[in-house]
Structure 1
Amino acid sequence: MCESIRIVCALCRVGIYALYRRLCCKGPSPVRPNFSILCIGLENAGKSSILSCLSGDDLHKIEPTIGFSIKAVLFEDCILEVKELGGGDKVRPYWDRYYQVFQGIIFVIAGDDSDEKLNVAREELLKAARHHQLKGLPLLILVSHQDKEGAKTAEEMMTFLQLGTEMENRQFLIKGCSIHNKEELSQIFAQFNEILQKNLDHDIELRKNSPQHSGNRL
């Protein structure tokens, strides 16, 4: 019962947050572009730990995410406003209720999970990637827990998940990582951020060349 109440409360926060964004976020664009990113994955995959590592937070004070949480991750060239969704069995059926306007997706998979759990992760990954609100968005797959013995590498995970045909027409990266190597994590996100920036530049160029902006003046 307590878990159900938490989920309901989290769903209510979705509407409040969307309203806040609509009413309060209409100011001029920041110097650094701000990208809205969705972060998902099964429970205990390491989503919160990865985001906290990048933000320089205390890794000993991380609690499991119930519903969703929002964290701004600052980089030199951009800001990622990351909405992280809880990955528990009772939360995943509600994931699509959180899907709004995003510029990219982060999916975290624990490299040391059992094959059974990895198969569940694969199903959830494909379901999200094919969703009409997320289809075509740049995708970063993080294979976490690389410091754990027996953890699958990014290459091994790619083979296990059999994502070849699914990712043919999509911008995506699959990288192994560990929260104990912040430098490597930063390098991974530098590559992901570059994709986001190029997409933004492309969209800006398209708007400049659209008929609305290129009409003749009287």
Structure 2
Amino acid sequence: MAEHIQLSIALCRIAVYTCFRRLCCKGPPSPRPEYDVVCIGLSGAGKTSLISRLCSEGLDGIVPTAGFSIKAVALPNAVLHIKELGGADNIKKYWSRYYQGSQGVIFVLDSTVSDEEMKACRSELHLALQHPQLCTLPFLILANHQDSPAARSVPEIKKYFELEPLARGKRWILEGSSINSMEAVRESFIRLIGLLEEKELQSVRI
């Protein structure tokens, strides 16, 4: 019962945030387009740290996200409103409740985890890629902690996750990432924005 109450409160917070953002934009339009993106991944993948650094925030006191958080990441070509969902088991089962309204997906994985955890991560990514509300959206997949000697390489992860056959016909990017190489992370996010713009243009033509 408590989980359902927390979920209802969380969904209300998302609705209030979305309405507030729309109602408060009565001035001149933003010079940059804005996109709503959902960020998912198992606990410990590094989602919160990467997003915090993109927002130029410090890392002191960062704790795993309980529920969700929303942050605006300003990049040269757009502003991403990133809805980060916690990766704990008691939260993960409700991920799909937060997908509505998303225009893109960021999936972060820890490249250094055990084979068993990597298998669980692959399962979650496959579920996301095939979910009715996400399957047509652009994906940015970040293989995080690439600065660790224990990290699997990006080509290895691409092969293990079977991304070529599974994601054929979809718009997706797989990149390595590290909290110590934020310029490369920004470039990955800028590439995602390119995919979002392509999808928007295609929707306009249709």
Q: Could you tell me the TM-score, scaled by structure 1's length?
A: 0.86
Contact 2:10 2:67 in 1 (8 A): no
CA distance in 2, matches of 1:134, 1:154: 23
CA distance in 2, matches of 1:73, 1:13: 21
Matching of residue 106 in structure 1 with residue 106 in structure 2: yes
Runs (4+) of structure 1 moved beyond 6 Å?
none
Contact 2:129 2:167 in 1 (8 A): no
For this pair of structures, how many residues does the alignment match? 203
**1:46 Cα offset (Å):** 0.4
Q: CA RMSD in A?
A: 1.9
Q: Which residue of 2 aligns with 1:21?
A: 18
Contact 1:7 1:66 in 2 (8 A): no
1:85-124 correspondence to structure 2 within 5 Å = 85-124=85-124
CA distance in 1, matches of 2:182, 2:20: 36
Change in CA separation of 1:187 and 1:180 when aligned onto 2, cut-off 3 Å: same
Q: Which residue of 1 aligns with 2:75?
A: 75
**1:187 Cα offset (Å):** 1.4
Q: Which residue of 1 aligns with 2:185?
A: 185
Q: Which amino acid aligns with 1:9?
A: Q
Q: Which amino acid aligns with 1:13?
A: A
Q: Which residue of 1 aligns with 2:34?
A: 34
Q: Which amino acid aligns with 2:14?
A: Y
Matching of residue 132 in structure 1 with residue 132 in structure 2: yes
Structure 1 spans left out of the alignment, 5+ residues: 207-218
**1:199 Cα offset (Å):** 2.1
CA distance in 1, matches of 2:163, 2:205: 31
CA distance in 2, matches of 1:160, 1:87: 21
Question: What SS is found at the alignment partner of 2:163?
Answer: coil
Query: Cα deviations across residues 169-204 of structure 1 (Å, max 9, x unaligned)?
Result: 100000011010111111111211111122223333
CA distance in 2, matches of 1:183, 1:20: 29
Question: What SS is found at the alignment partner of 1:81?
Answer: strand
Question: What SS is found at the alignment partner of 1:197?
Answer: helix
Contact 1:11 1:67 in 2 (8 A): no
Q: Which residue of 2 aligns with 1:46?
A: 46
Of 92-101 and 23-32, deviating more is 23-32
Q: Which residue of 2 aligns with 1:142?
A: 142
CA distance in 2, matches of 1:167, 1:95: 20
Question: What SS is found at the alignment partner of 1:101?
Answer: coil
Contact 1:46 1:144 in 2 (8 A): yes
Structure 2 spans left out of the alignment, 5+ residues: none
Q: Which amino acid aligns with 1:128?
A: A
> Highest CA radius of gyration, 1 or 2?
1
CA distance in 2, matches of 1:176, 1:24: 32
CA distance in 2, matches of 1:8, 1:153: 41
Q: Could you tell me the TM-score, scaled by structure 2's length?
A: 0.91
Q: Which residue of 1 aligns with 2:203?
A: 203
Change in CA separation of 1:24 and 1:70 when aligned onto 2, cut-off 3 Å: closer
Question: What SS is found at the alignment partner of 1:18?
Answer: helix
Change in CA separation of 1:62 and 1:20 when aligned onto 2, cut-off 3 Å: closer
